[in-house]
Structure 1
Amino acid sequence: MSPRTLFRRLALIEAVTWTLLLIGMVLKYVTGTTDLGVRIGGGLHGLAFLSYVAATVYVAVDGRWSAGRTALGLVSAVVPYATLPFERSAERRGLLADAWRLRPGGDAPRTALERLLGLTLRRPALTAVVGVVVVLAVFTALLVVGPPVPSS
């Protein structure tokens, strides 16, 4: 999967799960009917958010994005639906490539992060499995910690 395809799909998924979460919040806080939508939509959105963040860092390192551009990509996940205009902007600016720059036979890595990314691109299936495990581990840890509790 190319950086363009990965980033585009996760930006869309992140936005769709925002919709699910917002619908769930309306059902819970406005109509008072159920909190099931928040539990399901929130969980799905949490997974999508973490996946989008990981993909943003991955694509940013490969594409040698500036720190500011990378931060803007990460912050776009916090604002509902902002991943979509950010993805379009990144596409217009030529920041989303059709192939991984650091793939085997591609550019030589210059930094430690680029070397790590290059290693992961040599074993994409293993990287995908490890990525899913890491995202699920972080997600599970956040579920165990629970939501923030207002201070007294």
Structure 2
Amino acid sequence: MFKTTVGRLRFIGNIEGISYILLLCVAMPLKYWADMPIYVAIVGALHGLLFTLFILALLHAWIDRRWSFLRVLIAFLSSLVPLGTFFLDANLRKEESR
């Protein structure tokens, strides 16, 4: 999985997607319903780091695979939508198997 740029992008995308779900479904409710904002700070910082790594991995895959701008834009936009990176992973899995 880590041997190719697409494999690294898939891995980081999945971890980033999990952190996004944790931020939205665990940390944010704890902040507003249980008055525990520390979890947003922790998970939010981790998610920010993972999002940055995702963007770097995406740029690396763009250069290595010579993807079109539209494809990279769609991959980027998928990282902004909850569960989007998991749909991107399914698409990238097909490409990686070729």
Contact 1:3 1:59 in 2 (8 A): yes
Q: Which residue of 2 aligns with 1:28?
A: 31
| Deviation (angstroms), 1:60 | 1.5
Within a 5 Å distance, the mapping from 1:6-85 to structure 2 comes to: 6-22=8-24, 23-29=26-32, 31-85=33-87
What code does the residue aligned with 2:15 have?
I
What's the RMSD between the two structures over aligned residues?
1.7
CA–CA distance in structure 2, aligned partners of residues 48 and 97 of structure 1: 25
Question: How has the CA–CA distance of structure 1 residues 82 and 57 changed in structure 2, closer, same or farther, with 3 Å as cutoff?
Answer: same
What code does the residue aligned with 2:31 have?
K
| TM-score (norm: length of structure 2) | 0.86
CA–CA distance in structure 1, aligned partners of residues 48 and 6 of structure 2: 22
**1:116-141 per-position Cα deviation (integer Å, ceiling 9, x unaligned):** xxxxxxxxxxxxxxxxxxxxxxxxxx
Structure 2: 5+ residue runs without aligned partners? none
CA–CA distance in structure 1, aligned partners of residues 74 and 44 of structure 2: 23
| Deviation (angstroms), 1:81 | 1.8
CA–CA distance in structure 2, aligned partners of residues 50 and 18 of structure 1: 13
What code does the residue aligned with 2:71 have?
R
| Deviation (angstroms), 1:20 | 2.2
**1:22-64 per-position Cα deviation (integer Å, ceiling 9, x unaligned):** 11101112x1330011001100000011100110111121111
Question: How has the CA–CA distance of structure 1 residues 97 and 66 changed in structure 2, closer, same or farther, with 3 Å as cutoff?
Answer: farther
| Deviation (angstroms), 1:89 | 1.0
Q: Which runs of 4+ in 1 moved over 3 A?
A: none
Structure 1: 5+ residue runs without aligned partners? 99-152
CA–CA distance in structure 2, aligned partners of residues 97 and 68 of structure 1: 22
Of structures 1 and 2, the larger Rg is shown by 1
| TM-score (norm: length of structure 1) | 0.58
CA–CA distance in structure 2, aligned partners of residues 60 and 97 of structure 1: 18
